Amino acid sequence: MKKVLVIAALLIISAIYFFQYNDQEKVKIGSSASPEKLTQRDYQDPPKKIILLIGDGMGLNHILLGRIAFGGPEFNMAMDRMPVFGIVTTHSVDDLYTDSAASATAWNTGFKTKNRFVGVTVDKEPKKNISETIKDFGFISGLVATSSVTHATPAAQYAHTDSRYKEELIAQQLVESEIRIALGGGTEFFEQENKQDLFFIEDLSELKNISTDSRVIGLFAEDGIERSEGPSQIVMTKAALKFLSSAAKDCNNFFLMSEGSQIDWESHDNKVDEMLVELKDFNETINYVLDYAATREDTLVIVSSDHETGGLDVIKQSGDDVVIGWTSGSHTLAPIGIFAYGPGAENFSGKIDQTEIYKIITELASEASCSADQ
């Protein structure tokens, strides 16, 4: 009888061990040439162009795994090229766990709020976001997302509501906002009615027919953009940058937020290969933006995240592979970073809370204030 019990106990223990650790997977270690690191220069003036890139769900281990998978241990991810680095705290107002809505509200408005809330405080009071605040300093704004443009992260750039799930209301608020260009998915949430100064497009090639005096909402999918159908984040970001550069006119001031939304989604599903495809698009987008900024004196680039997703562990080397594992199907409290380059970048070093991102950006923008009629 004793023997049977011992065997049963051993079986149970090995079953627990098996189910807990069998989700380890292998990812091939890459080897490729690395882009150069950038150094901060002695900038004379505050930034007239501020570009914020968000990797939704991207923790520091996502960046580590990207480094190893895309080029090997010494490879420079785009973020590794950026001279200023800090750690960001992301807790929502009443929970260590944050969702994308509370997180994006914190950096967009400078106020912490409850999960699911967008652009409003815990008391549901609407707060001015970065785009609304820096409009007074001559900045026009744009956004790019690989999710629907009404999804939590992009929504916090223009909407004010107590639920991220009211996507038709959020869509209406985008129509009524002053966002000059919004590119992503989300046809199902909009009644696409062109107005005198607002045009809807469903193909990026239509953008060249639209005057940069107008506003544009480009919707390329019903909801999130399917990777196989595109357009990718880098393609949309290039288009938005081009549009904003000519739309900004005399003042030349603009703010662009571009989100790699689906790094989060693939991490929720614990799909490492698909996550790396999303991360690669995000990484190439940042490299493109950094190369744009490196030729100029007036462009600040900031890269961050809203929270970690999946509890990604990068465990050990096994031959030509690296062994990884996931510890969660949801968001975790694992740390996220913030990286910066260009005039004002030094403000983003050390440990900062997300709410400070609003304060730093709006302060820098006020120093670059320009009163020309936009």
Residue 55 CB, nearest approach to Zn ion (Å)? 12
Close Cβ partners of 101 (under 8 Å, ≥ 6 residues apart): 113, 115, 116, 117, 118, 152, 155, 156, 164
Residue 264 CB, nearest approach to Zn ion (Å)? 4
Strand segments (E) across the chain = 25-28, 49-55, 84-89, 139-148, 181-185, 198-201, 215-219, 253-260, 299-304, 308-309, 312-318, 321-326, 331-332, 336-341, 350-353
Q: Which residue is nearest to Zn ion (CB)?
A: 264
Bin 370: left if φ > 0, else alpha if -120 < ψ < 50, else beta. beta
Residue 331 CB, nearest approach to Zn ion (Å)? 5
Residue 278 CB, nearest approach to Zn ion (Å)? 13
How far apart, in whole angstroms, are the C-alpha atoms of residue 266 and residue 273? 9
Please, which residue, 68 or 272, has the CB nearer to Zn ion?
272
Q: Residue with structure tokens 């399917």?
A: 226
Residue 267 CB, nearest approach to Zn ion (Å)? 8
Build a one-symbol-per-residue string for 253-282: x at contacts with Zn ion by CB under 5 A, - elsewhere. Answer: -----------x------------------
Build a one-symbol-per-residue string for 202-241: x at contacts with Zn ion by CB under 5 A, - elsewhere. Answer: ----------------------------------------
Please, which residue, 265 or 358, has the CB nearer to Zn ion?
265
Residue 330 CB, nearest approach to Zn ion (Å)? 7
Residue 87 CB, nearest approach to Zn ion (Å)? 20
Please, which residue, 160 or 331, has the CB nearer to Zn ion?
331
Q: Residues 159, 161, 162, 165: is their CA dihedral positive or negative? A: negative
Please, which residue, 132 or 308, has the CB nearer to Zn ion?
308
235-241 CB contacts, 8 Å cutoff, 24+ apart? 235/204, 236/144, 236/146, 236/183, 236/184, 236/204, 237/144, 237/285, 237/288, 237/289, 238/288, 239/183, 239/204, 239/207, 240/142, 240/143, 240/144, 240/181, 240/183, 241/51, 241/289, 241/292
Q: Residue with structure tokens 């970065």?
A: 130
Please, which residue, 80 or 264, has the CB nearer to Zn ion?
264
Please, which residue, 299 or 309, has the CB nearer to Zn ion?
309
Residue 42 CB, nearest approach to Zn ion (Å)? 40
Please, which residue, 49 or 307, has the CB nearer to Zn ion?
307
Cα angle value 97/54/31 (rounded, 5°): 110
CB atoms within 10 A of CB 262: 26
Q: Residue with structure tokens 């929270």?
A: 307
How far apart, in whole angstroms, are the C-alpha atoms of residue 353 and residue 109? 12
Residue 74 CB, nearest approach to Zn ion (Å)? 31
Please, which residue, 73 or 329, has the CB nearer to Zn ion?
329
Please, which residue, 62 or 180, has the CB nearer to Zn ion?
62
Residues forming contacts to Zn ion in the complex (CB under 5 A) are 264
